[in-house]
Chains A and B, each alone.
Chain A
Amino acid sequence: MSEGSARDVPVNGARRRGAGGSRGYLHGDGIFHRLDPRVKVTAAIVLLVAILGIDTWAGYAAMAGVLVFAAALGKIPGMRLVKAVQGVSFLLLFTVVINGFFTPGASLFHLGPVALTYQGLMRGLALGCRLALVVGAMTLLAATTKPLDLAHGLGWLFGPLRRFGLPVAELAMVTSIALRFVTVLGEEAKRIRIAQKARGIEIGDRPLSRATSLASIVVPLFAGALRHADELGMALEARGYRPGARRGRLYPLSVGLADLLCLVAAVAIAVVSWGWL
């Protein structure tokens, strides 16, 4: 399981999903795609800090502008951002409604025992804006960074926490194994479904029949998956893999001028948003 293997060859399934789906990695060749994952993860966290520092409407609009501009720069379709925010629309609505009704202030109108307050509505809208911006920033990171690289970048970033007993190397490794298994499981589930269709088991549309037919997929899937995991552990052991040990990468990472520029831009945005917006 070398981490470098996914650097130039897309992870099995990642490209297919990225091209058609509305989330996850989007295969491409924009400037953000080529940046060092460690730099991208750091820059994304700096951006999150920046978003938390904004508390004016102009600031939210400016930050949204920055994200849209970044998406255009990185050749990420703007629709991707819209869809990501749409995905959390329930959470957004919840935030606005809950804050609107449970913040004390001048009431706008009564609904039974509770009242919608002006202060609450404003607070809910502001929190909703922040939430949408955070989703946008994370979407840009996820769309331009392969999952395995993302795991590596995060592992690097949280490396110092090992001193406090947090098993960072193990967490990063388990994450990359899990990412690999997601595609394997998906393919296996498809294979089993086809095999069962061939034997005359219909996956019906009615909820109950779907649930029972699902059981006939889950059990074999489970047995096969446990075997896979066992084999993987054995293979790793046989090759002398040790989590947390120093090792080389197939495709070494390097921080270049573009990476530095990206970091400087993120820090500048954070400074502006905390100081002026």
Chain B
Amino acid sequence: MAKALTRAQSRWTLKELSAAGLFAALTAVGALVTIPLPYVPFTLQVLFTLLSGAVLGPRVGMLSQGVYVLMGAVGLPVFSGRGAGVQQLVGPTGGYLIGMVLAPWVVGRILRASASPGWGRSAAAMLLGLAVIHAAGVAVLSFHVGSLWGALTVDVVFVPVDLLKAAAALAIARGLEARGVAAAGEERG
């Protein structure tokens, strides 16, 4: 009955909202955990972004990443590299943040389209989600740099590390699936 009540008031249940809050926090913490790799900063943000789509589903996953970006936009120190505020959203790397909001939707939709997604579908979902982040990132970056080619060469540096993160997200998502950890996500169908 409680569920019926909350449903009538809001498009989200409370479990969905708290799970979204958790993933927004996880992404924020993931951005702060920096492993110093040579040349490229390694953070866990993208891992949690992809995972939010897989665990929470398209709608709630998108909500969680939207809140994460919102938190950074108002000046809370949740983006990697110490910067925060609206300037990050409109800055050269802002496209990646926009992509991070869109990616969970793509990942969630692909995974939820099947009752029991196998390795192939899961891997495809993660890769496409990653592609969305990079496409949005390159689009905005090329606008700042003035050339698509220049933006692509910058972007390509991050691809190998991000593939690793996608693989990690895939492994964790499969692991949770196997253990039957169903977070407050949407029904599959």
Contacts and interface: CB of A to CB of B under 8 A. Distances in A.
Contacts of B92: 91, 94, 98
A70 B144 CA distance: 33
B14 A138 contact: no
A258 interface: no
Contact of B63 (A90, A174, A181, A245): A174
B114 interface: no
Interface residues of B, number: 63
B184 A233 contact: yes
A79 interface: no
Contacts of B26: 181, 185, 222, 225
Contacts of A131: 87
Q: Which of A141, A169, A207, A233 has the most CB of B within 10 A?
A: A233
Contacts of B17: 170, 173-174, 177, 233, 243
**Most B C-beta atoms less than 10 A away, residue of A154, A241, A243:** A243
A90 B81 contact: yes
Contact of A23 (B63, B84, B145, B146): B84
B81 A229 contact: no
Contacts of A150: 74-76
B60 to A, nearest CB: 10
Contact of B25 (A181, A215, A236): A181
Interface in B76-133: 76-78, 81-88, 91-92
B82 A23 contact: yes
Nearest to A177: B21
Contacts of A34: none
Given A167-B10, A233-B13, A241-B14, A135 B87 contact: yes
A171 to B, nearest CB: 6
Interface string B36-76: 11100010100000000001000000011011101100111
A38 to B, nearest CB: 13
B75 A141 contact: yes
B82 A242 contact: no
B181 A226 contact: yes
B174 to A, nearest CB: 12
B20 interface: yes
Contacts of B86: 48, 134, 138
Among B11, B44, B71, B88, the most chain A Cβ lie within 10 Å of the Cβ of B71
A230 interface: yes
Given A230-B184, A237-B6, A178 B172 contact: no
A150 B73 CA distance: 12
Interface range on chain A: under 10, 10 to 19, 20 to 34, or 35 or more? 35 or more
Interface in A138-185: 138-139, 141-142, 147, 150, 154, 167, 169-171, 173-182, 184-185
A178 B76 CA distance: 12
Nearest to B11: A167
A59 B172 CA distance: 52
A189 interface: yes
B178 interface: no
B71 A175 contact: yes
Contacts of B149: none
A226 B83 contact: no
A2 to B, nearest CB: 15
Interface string A73-110: 00000000000000110110011001000100000000
A178 B9 contact: no
Contacts of A234: 15
23 contacts: A23-B82, A24-B77, A91-B92, A139-B75, A142-B77, A142-B84, A147-B76, A154-B74, A167-B11, A167-B63, A169-B10, A171-B66, A173-B17, A174-B21, A179-B71, A181-B25, A185-B25, A207-B42, A229-B183, A230-B19, A234-B15, A242-B10, A243-B14
Interface of B: 2-3, 5-6, 9-22, 24-26, 28-29, 33, 35-38, 42, 44, 55, 63-64, 66-68, 70-71, 74-78, 81-88, 91-92, 144-146, 168, 172, 175-176, 181, 183-184
